[in-house]
A = this chain, B = another copy of it.
Amino acid sequence: MVVYDLIIIGGGPAGITAGIYAARQKLNTLLITKSFGGQIARKAVGIENYPGFEEISGLDLIKKFEKHLRRASARSDGHKIDIERDGVRKVKKIGEKFLVQTTGKNTFEAKAVIIASGADPRPLEVPGEKKFIGKGVSYCTTCDGPLFANKKVAVVGGGNAGFEAAIFLAKFAKKIYILEYSEKISADVENQERVKKTGKIEVIINVQPKEVKGEKFVNSLVYLNGKTEKEVNLAVEGVFIEIGTQPATSFVKGLVDFNEKDEIKVNPWTSQTSCPGLFAAGDADEVPYKQIVIAAGEGAKAAISAYEYLQKF
């Protein structure tokens, strides 16, 4: 069995940058990811804060990142990066070797591992939510928004992500409700003004979602008005959930130290976790600011650290 120098888990900005650096250092590397892009692929509006690109769609930026990775791999003199399209179920360490088991039940071995698995959308955790995934419930506005032409939809979450999702949906849907749990809208002023301008987005506060209902497809969202304590049955055919993310780190539980948010603890200078040879970068670790360019920088750090660690073998 091939023992890789390095396995990178994740195909977002941190994982891809780690891959570019690993290829240039001529490490035998495997990158495991279900798809490229991470959270960028779900971004509903253009990206304006990754230096070098004044304005670019998430999809276009990720295409450029992926192309860069493939080119670095092609130029690495036979140490090219293998790519496995899968999720990860478990990472174990046996002696000095890491075993990475994928969802598809393959096992890969490496001397070092970088976790750049980012974060997944946080679910509402109400009845009906799981049942209607792909049948009206969505965590990805850019993926599913166009399917809701001339329909009524709800966006759960009154932060910037929720407002940006609603602005994107306004191109397709007939009517959009933004539902916010608290009394206060946290989206920034610019997004609030853009929502107003569409003329078809209604913002409702004090919303405690209770259930997603439907038959074959979603037909309503039931919520409690936290102020009046009345139950409301909101007729919508789509429910977009934009209430934040949670780190996708369950597959290393028990192997490394976490903080209280389930983020992996690291030495911020070297990306080293509590487990020697295991590094973490991007939104899966405890970096307080979740930004594309910060995640990319962390990916570079982790790859350089992994390279230094591998010199001892």
Chain A residues in the interface with B (C-beta under 8 A): 13, 16-17, 20-21, 24, 48-54, 61, 64-65, 67-68, 71-72, 268-270, 286-289, 291, 293-298, 300-301, 304
Verify B54–A61 contact, CB threshold 8 A: no
Verify B293–A270 contact, CB threshold 8 A: no
Q: Which of A49, A52, A67, A287 lies at the interface centre, i.e. has the most chain B CB atoms within 10 A of its CB?
A: A52
Chain B contacts for A269, CB-based, 8 A: 268, 286-288
Chain B contacts for A48, CB-based, 8 A: 24, 72
Verify B300–A288 contact, CB threshold 8 A: no
Nearest-CB distance from A306 to chain B (Å)? 12
Subset of 8 A-B contacts with CB under 8 Å: A24-B48, A48-B72, A52-B61, A54-B67, A54-B68, A291-B297, A291-B300, A295-B297
A286 closest partner in B (C-beta): B269
Contact of A49 among B50, B270, B300 (CB under 8 A): B300
Nearest-CB distance from A186 to chain B (Å)? 14
Nearest-CB distance from A88 to chain B (Å)? 22
A21 closest partner in B (C-beta): B49
Give the 9 A-B CB pairs with smallest separation, nearest first: A297-B297, A268-B268, A294-B297, A52-B64, A54-B71, A17-B51, A289-B304, A54-B68, A293-B297
Verify A293–B291 contact, CB threshold 8 A: no
Verify B297–A298 contact, CB threshold 8 A: yes
Chain B contacts for A13, CB-based, 8 A: 51
Question: A297-B293, A297-B298 given as contacts; is B270 within 8 A of A51 (CB)?
Answer: no
Instruction: Give the docked Cα–Cα distance between A291 and B298 (Å).
Output: 11
Contact of A51 among B20, B54, B304 (CB under 8 A): B20
Chain B contacts for A304, CB-based, 8 A: 289, 291
Instruction: Give the docked Cα–Cα distance between A304 and B71 (Å).
Output: 33
Verify A65–B52 contact, CB threshold 8 A: yes
Instruction: Give the docked Cα–Cα distance between A268 and B271 (Å).
Output: 11
Chain B contacts for A297, CB-based, 8 A: 291, 293-298
Instruction: Give the docked Cα–Cα distance between A287 and B294 (Å).
Output: 14
Instruction: Give the docked Cα–Cα distance between A93 and B182 (Å).
Output: 40
Chain B contacts for A65, CB-based, 8 A: 51-52
Instruction: Give the docked Cα–Cα distance between A54 and B296 (Å).
Output: 15
Chain B contacts for A289, CB-based, 8 A: 300-301, 304
Nearest-CB distance from A280 to chain B (Å)? 14
Question: A268-B269, A296-B297, A301-B294 given as contacts; is B49 within 8 A of A24 (CB)?
Answer: yes
Known: A21-B49, A52-B52, A269-B286. 20 other contacts (CB 8 A): A13-B51, A17-B293, A20-B49, A24-B48, A48-B72, A49-B72, A49-B300, A51-B65, A52-B61, A52-B64, A52-B68, A54-B71, A289-B300, A291-B297, A293-B293, A293-B296, A293-B300, A294-B300, A295-B297, A297-B298
